[in-house]
Amino acid sequence: MIDQTIVNSENWALSFYQKYEAVYKTPNQYYPIDPIIIPIAFQSSNIVVQPFNPTVPSYWWLGAYLEVLINIPNIDTNVIAYNQNLKINNKTLIQLPTKVSYSLKFIVPTRMSEITLSIWEYIEP
């Protein structure tokens, strides 16, 4: 169930916004975009993410694959706590069950030569 305070725009802040582009080896060939680990330690149990590319064909669905990574001491620093496919050009609300510091990793489909990632973080009132 979604808490009503979550729909208040004053409780959200844009935490990250960046465009990534593939490196071209020839005019028609490029190296795929490497997996992207966002250099922020997130704390909020609610975030909204958007992979954006206005040039993709309308029949493309997948925008990115998201992994939420947590650090579990004595096990690993990159334990996948949650993962989800993200629809291109759509905002997706991610609600994590507990408040734990985490990082985000995006894997971009190889057919995309560019992508812009936006992440909003919920700020509790």
pLDDT of residue 121: 95
Q: Side-chain half-sphere of 23: how many Cα atoms within 13 Å?
A: 3
Domain spans of the chain? 4-122
CATH topology of domain 4-122: Jelly Rolls (2.60.120)
pLDDT tens track, the chain, 125 positions:
566 777 788 899 999 999 999 999 999 999 999 999 999 999 899 999 999 999 999 899 999 999 999 988 888 778 999 999 999 999 999 998 877 889 999 999 999 999 999 999 999 87
Give Cα 30 to chain centroid, integer Å.
Answer: 22
Find tokens 């057919």 and name the residue. 111
Pairing type for strands 114-122 and 12-21 reads antiparallel
pLDDT of residue 8: 81
